[in-house]
Structure 1
Amino acid sequence: MSNSRLSYTDGSPLPGDGLVQISRASLIRLKRWGGDLPLRAIRVRSGSSGAYLTRLKGRGMEFDEARPYQAGDEIRNIDWRITARTGQPYSKLFREEKERVVTLWVDYRAPMYFATQGRFKSVLASEAAAMIAWSAHKLGDRLGGLLFSEQGHLELRPRNDVRTTLRLIALLAEYSQKTPPASLPEQRREAAGSALLRINRVTRPGSLVCLISDFRDLDTRTENHLTSLARHNDLILVRLFDPLEAELPRAGWYTVSDGRRFVAIDSADRARRLAHREHYLAQRARLEQICRRHGIHLFQCATNDDLPGILKNSLGRQVH
């Protein structure tokens, strides 16, 4: 396994820190990188202290109350639930939101604990989430998270305080250090589907939701969840992949390992190499199409890429 372009292992006793797992101390050190990330949050140039002009689909406002419909009210602000219950049209009133909610959805299913070059996808996921968390903390946003695997999920309710940020950082490190049991494809798809359904249910309209995964098992259910989530929120997808997942190496026998199990791969079959490549390209194209269709911001990073540079440069291009 090759060395990363960046080292986060200074003085850390954790074996393989920054490669196959990552320590809390290493994620805390990412504060200097995360603080520079532009999360598409532009301060309002008005007298309204602390508000955001975010370009979010949720209008940067939060629900205040409902009142009977009046001439001139926007149709999109009708509260259909109260209208149906009372038989009279009601409109939602909003007040300016002083804080934005930033929610991290991080994938720790078994295939994330893998790399043939650079660092495990699970390590990159923890690093990406930590950098975004530090950026949200610096901007004064409310930070929350949902971390999941085949064994279930863990939620962190959005709060605006350093304790929440540090708690999330600790969880990101803890999850990266787990030993995932073997799982079936059906279990992995069900875990992702359930986690997407949950994030849809708990996310407030107007939030910034960052989904970090390899998105290998993208299917119609996943697409429907992403479409629903993107309808009222700003979405950032960080797609992680290993070079071997993109293309099999030249003909020969290769042994790959996730640090715990070993698998032998025969890449001598040209048809197999082409099928492998075509499947990868089709899945990537499908995800890119979904993101273009729904205005989702997609960033893609290989396990041997410069993650901080990709996030900083790509987010910067999205803002301008």
Structure 2
Amino acid sequence: MDPDIQVSAEDLIALRQRAARLRPVRRQPARSALAGAHRSRFRGRGMDYRESRHYQAGDDIRNMDWRITARAGHPHIKVFDEERERPVVVLADFGPSMFFASQGAFKSVVAARLAALIGWSAIGHGDRIGALLFNGEHKELQPAGGRRGQMRLIRALTEAGDPARGLAESLPSDGGQSGSGPFGGEPSGVERSGDEAAETHRQGALTEALARLRRVARPGSLVFLISDFYSMDAGTARLLARLAEHSDLTAFQIVDALELAPPPPGRYGISDGRRRGLFDAASARQRARYQDYFQRHHAAVRLLVEGSGAALLRCTTTDAPDECLAAALALRGRQSGAAVA
């Protein structure tokens, strides 16, 4: 099994050491009722002193601030930020377009490694890890803590990252003869790639996943969205904005080099493993059409994510996933004014 094509449990388990130095940085207080390592809006006994205030009937006298009481002449009580556990949720796309790379690892492999790193970092800092993985079906994992929660995520990622499973939905009902996406416009008599038909087959999958995410990610969760965003549609923006309003959201756009610039001029055979087509990159018109398609897609992704108030980072198929995650956490730290551990 090629590790750049299909992810393995061993690969994801080995990422634990790389995740040890990563610490999720949050911008909103945690709202979970479980004890953990994040400050909460809830006030109570905890590790972090916040302020002292006038004593009120019913306050715990063990929290009396005797120094201020003696100085002020009337009783004061210490108030602490109670530490609460925070759920971390990964929303990861394993649709057909994710099982591709011209360089490095498949986008699906990059997504699985990012998700595993997020999980290891979360449980390493006392948080619970949950997920919603979508690839035609939806795999929902309620947030759970400790190694057990992480191993459950790894099993789900290994299953979702199987190319045989992920590509099962990629064949359109018309046999791939109606495609006219960025590789379309082939000479007459040449089988098309069917990319637009496959894309239509996937349209709205991200919106459906966001709608289902409400059952996994409670308000105040730290949510990481990992996708190439080819499955977004007109309804995605509304649900993404709603998610970002109530959770800390960071999005990763997974891209391949061929989605950033067209290949050198030439005629290229293309295939999804079952159908064949031809992309004429020697044609200036085709190259311009190709460039325009991906520029519009990337602009739409940026507008979608940043319009919701979330952070967007791009991770290529040749990037180290731990470096992508470290960059995301550093960005979150700068935006929140918090230090990144």
TM range (shorter): 0.7 to 0.9
Q: How does 1:139-150 map to 2 (within 5 A)?
A: 139-150=125-136
Within 1, Cα distance between the matches of 2:248 and 2:282?
44
Partner of 2:25: 40
Give the residue type in structure 2 aligned to 1:272. Answer: Q
Give the residue type in structure 2 aligned to 1:108. Answer: F
Partner of 1:9: none
Aligned-pair distance for 1:202?
3.8
Matched, 1:133 2:119: yes
Structure 1 residue ranges, 4+ long, deviating more than 4 angstroms after superposition: 59-62, 256-263
Within 1, Cα distance between the matches of 2:279 and 2:285?
14
Residue in structure 2 matching 1:113, options 78, 93, 99:
99
Q: Secondary structure at the match of 2:105?
A: coil
Within 1, Cα distance between the matches of 2:270 and 2:292?
21
CA shift digits 1:71-118 (9 cap, x unpaired): xxxxxxxxxxxxxxxxxxxxxxxx956110111111111111001111
TM-score, normalised relative to structure 1: 0.75
TM-score, normalised relative to structure 2: 0.71
Partner of 1:242: 256
Matched, 1:203 2:217: yes
Within 1, Cα distance between the matches of 2:16 and 2:271?
31
Residue in structure 1 matching 2:154, options 152, 169, 191:
169
Give the residue type in structure 1 aligned to 2:105. Answer: R
Cα contact 1:60–1:206 (8 A) shared by 2: no
Q: Which runs of 5+ in 2 are unaligned?
A: 30-34, 44-80, 172-197, 335-341
Aligned-pair distance for 1:205?
0.6
The number of residue pairs the alignment matches comes to 264
Worse overlay, 104-113 or 281-290 = 281-290
Alpha-carbon RMSD = 2.7
Q: Percent of counterpart pairs with the same letter?
A: 36
Residue in structure 1 matching 2:282, options 240, 247, 268:
268
Worse overlay, 187-196 or 219-228 = 187-196
> In terms of Rg, which structure is larger?
2
Aligned-pair distance for 1:256?
4.3
Residue in structure 1 matching 2:2, options 16, 19, 36:
16
Within 1, Cα distance between the matches of 2:42 and 2:309?
20
Partner of 1:155: 140
Cα contact 2:141–2:216 (8 A) shared by 1: no
Partner of 2:265: 251
Cα contact 1:299–1:311 (8 A) shared by 2: no
Matched, 1:292 2:302: no
Q: Which runs of 5+ in 1 are unaligned?
A: 1-14, 54-58, 63-94
Cα contact 1:253–1:267 (8 A) shared by 2: yes
Q: 1:23 to 1:315 in 2, by over 3 A?
A: same
Within 1, Cα distance between the matches of 2:329 and 2:274?
35
Give the residue type in structure 2 aligned to 1:287. Answer: V
